[in-house]
A and B are shown apart, each in its own frame.
Chain A
Amino acid sequence: MILRVLGSSSHGNCYILERGEQALLIECGVSWKEIQQGLDFNLSRVGACLISHEHKDHSKSAREVMQAGINVYCSPGTAEALGISSHRLHTVPPLKQFTVGDFIVLPFPVEHDCAEPYGYLIYCRSTGEKLLFATDTYYIRHRFSGLNYIMVECNHCGDVLKAYVEEGTMAVPRKNRLLESHFSLEHCKEFLQVNVTTDTRKIILLHLSDDNSDAERMVREITDLTGIDTEVAEPGKVIELVLYPY
C-alpha cells in the first residue's frame, strides 16, 4: 500500500491510502483543490472518505467530497456537528465494521473534545495488511493485535508544555486542554508499548504540534522503544507500506 500525506497538523489533515487501483481518503481537512491534486484528479478510484471528527482541520472539504460522488463515513455525532446531509453520507455506529472495496473498516471511539470522534482500524482483504489510524485523542481505550502499520498522533512533549507554562509563554488552561485532547509523546509511547508486535512494520506519527513538539526527539524515542521504523507524516510525503521490506 502507499500512503500519501496531504496534511497532518492543526492546519489541515488528509491522507490518501492506495492499494492498486483503489484508494481511501482519510480525513478531508485540506482544501478541495489540494485533495483533487493529491488524487491526480482521478476521483473514481476513491472508495470512501473516513472522517475522524468535525473540527475543520479534519473535515473542511466534506461537502465537496460528497458532491464529487465520494461516500463519506463518520460517526452520527460528527455528522450532526458538521450539519451535513447527503445520500453520500454514511453515519456508522462505533465498533460496527463496514466494507469499502478491498478494505474492511472498523470505527472505534477515541477521546477528544468534540462530539463523537473515531479512530479507524483498516484491513486490506487481498493482502491481509492491517493499519490503524488514530488522531486527536489523548488516549485510546481499546487495544489491537497484528497491526502492520500504525498511524497515530504524537502531538506534544509533556515536559515542553510544562516548561512553557513555567516560563509563562503558555497559559495553564491551554495546557490542560492539550493534555485532555491530544496524544502526548509519553502517552503515545505507552500506547505503542501495548500495540506494537512482531507484525508491525511502520509507525507514522501524526498531527505534531507546531510549537510543542520535537519531531527528531519523538522519532528517536519511539524507535528506541519499539525498534520499529518510525517517521513523521509531513505534507507531500509518500510513504510506502510494505509487509516484507526485506
Chain B
Amino acid sequence: MISLSNEIALFKKTDMEAITKRVQQFINNGELTLPADYSPENAMKSAWLMLQETVDRDKRPALQVCTRESVYNALLGMAVQGLNPDKKQCYFIVYGKKLMCQRSYFGSMHVAKMVDPDIVDIYAQTVYADDEFEYEIRHGKEVVTKHVQKLQNIQPDKIIGAYATIVYKDGRELSTVMTFDQIKQAWKQSQMKPVDDKGNIKAGSTHDKFTADMCEKTVINKACKYVINSSSDKSIVGRFAREMDAELKEAEIDQEITDNANQEFIDIDYTVTDATEATTDPEPEPAQEPPADDDPGY
C-alpha cells in the first residue's frame, strides 16, 4: 500500500550534504564569500532541528508535506545568504506543499551588509508628533538632518512616522523615511492583516502592543530591500535573496487566492419589482464639464 506521504518525494537528512556541497562549490568558484563566523553546516543543523517543529496550517509536519525540491531550495537559499535560523535571521513557513524560507528584519540587515560590504550599520527610529525632526532630499535620497526627542514625546498614539538610516564606511548616511500612513499601508499587505481596510490597527495584536518596534522593523525592511534589490546580478547573494522574495510573494498570493476565491454563493433575486428601474432619457444634456480629465485641452 502506498501511503499519502509517499506521493511526493520528501526531503531527507542526507539531502543536506548535497546543499552543503553546492554552497562549497559557490565558494570555491569565487562566486560566494560567506562571513568568517558563518558555518553553513551549523546553520543547516539548526534549520533541520527547526524543521522538525515546523508545521503547516493544518498542523501537519512540514517535512511530511513539503516537496523535496522546495525544502532543498529553502535551505540552499538560507545558506547562500549566510542566514542562521538560530539567530532568528530567518524562519520557515509552509505554503501548500512548498517550504519557504523567509528573512526576518535581522536577516534582511545581514543580507544588505553582505551585498554591500561598505555598510557598517543600519538602525531605525520612530518619530513622534512633538519631536524635532528634519530631513533633506540629496541626489534623490533622503538624509535625516535633525532628530531631537524628549522622553515625554514617546507616546504610542503620537507616532507620525519612522526612518531607517544606513551608515557607510566613509561616514555617509542615507535614510528611508516613512509616514505612519505609509507604514500602515505596508501592514495592510501583510498576511497577518494587523490593519483593517479603514486603517485601524487590530486591538491586542503585536502591531498594537509594540507599534514603535513594528514601525522600525518595517522601515528597516524597506531600506534593506532597496539595497538588496539594487545590488548587482553578479552578486549571488543578492540574486538568491531576490529570487527567494519573489517566490515567497507568489506563494503568499496563491495562498490568499486559495483561501478567498470562489467562496460565497450569490445570485439574482428573481422576485424583483420594477421599483428600482432606471429611466433612460434619449435627450442629450448640455455639456457641463470638460470632456475628459486626461485631455490637456490644448
Q: Do A and B bind each other?
A: yes
* CB-based contact A190/B261 at 8 Å: yes
What sequence of 0s and 1s flags, for each residue 96-123 of chain A, a beta carbon within 8 Å of any chain B beta carbon? 0111110010101000000000000101
* CB-based contact A67/B284 at 8 Å: yes
Contact of B261 among A60, A70, A175, A187 (CB under 8 A): A187
* CB-based contact A142/B284 at 8 Å: no
B27 contacts the other chain (Cβ, under 8 Å)? no
A69-B282, A98-B276 known; A139+B246 contact, CB < 8 A: no
A68-B284, A108-B266 known; A139+B292 contact, CB < 8 A: no
What sequence of 0s and 1s flags, for each residue 135-178 of chain A, a beta carbon within 8 Å of any chain B beta carbon? 00011111111100000000000000000010010001001100
* CB-based contact A64/B262 at 8 Å: no
A90-B278, A179-B249, A190-B262 known; A60+B292 contact, CB < 8 A: yes
For A194, list chain B residues within 8 Å (CB).
262
* CB-based contact B284/A69 at 8 Å: yes
* CB-based contact A139/B268 at 8 Å: no
- The number of chain A residues touching the other chain, given as a range, is 35 or more
**CA distance in complex: A97, B268 (Å):** 7
Contact of B266 among A61, A106, A123, A190 (CB under 8 A): A106
A225 contacts the other chain (Cβ, under 8 Å)? no
For A47, list chain B residues within 8 Å (CB).
278, 280
Chain B contact residue count (CB 8 A cutoff)? 42
* CB-based contact A142/B263 at 8 Å: yes
For B284, list chain A residues within 8 Å (CB).
43, 67-69
* CB-based contact B265/A144 at 8 Å: yes
A2 contacts the other chain (Cβ, under 8 Å)? no
* CB-based contact B285/A67 at 8 Å: yes
A43-B282, A191-B262 known; A176+B292 contact, CB < 8 A: no
B288 contacts the other chain (Cβ, under 8 Å)? yes
**CA distance in complex: A138, B260 (Å):** 11
Q: Which secondary structure characterizes the binding site on chain B?
A: loop
A86 CB to closest chain B CB (Å) equals 7
A201 contacts the other chain (Cβ, under 8 Å)? no
* Residue ID in chain B nearest A180 by CB atoms: B253
For A4, list chain B residues within 8 Å (CB).
none
A99-B272, A176-B246, A179-B250 known; A69+B265 contact, CB < 8 A: no
* CB-based contact A48/B263 at 8 Å: no
For B288, list chain A residues within 8 Å (CB).
67, 86
* CB-based contact A172/B257 at 8 Å: no
A19 contacts the other chain (Cβ, under 8 Å)? no
List residues of A (68-112) whose CB comes within 8 Å of B's CBs: 68-71, 73, 83-84, 86, 88, 90, 95, 97-101, 104, 106, 108
For A86, list chain B residues within 8 Å (CB).
288-289
For A179, list chain B residues within 8 Å (CB).
249-250, 253
A67 CB to closest chain B CB (Å) equals 5
What sequence of 0s and 1s flags, for each residue 66-88 of chain B, a beta carbon within 8 Å of any chain A beta carbon? 00000000000000000000000
* CB-based contact A145/B267 at 8 Å: yes
For B292, list chain A residues within 8 Å (CB).
60-61, 63-64
For B264, list chain A residues within 8 Å (CB).
141-143
Contact of B277 among A44, A99, A123 (CB under 8 A): A99
Interface residues of B (CB under 8 A from A): 229, 233, 242, 245-246, 249-250, 253, 256-257, 260-270, 272, 274, 276-294
| Given A97-B276, A99-B274: 12 more A-B contacts, CB < 8 Å | A44-B280, A71-B278, A71-B279, A95-B266, A100-B278, A106-B268, A138-B257, A139-B262, A141-B264, A168-B233, A172-B242, A187-B261
**Can you list 24 pairs linking A and B with CB atoms under 8 Å apart?**
A46-B280, A48-B280, A56-B294, A61-B292, A64-B291, A69-B284, A83-B293, A86-B288, A98-B276, A100-B277, A101-B280, A104-B270, A106-B268, A121-B266, A123-B268, A141-B260, A142-B265, A144-B266, A165-B246, A168-B233, A172-B246, A187-B257, A191-B261, A195-B262
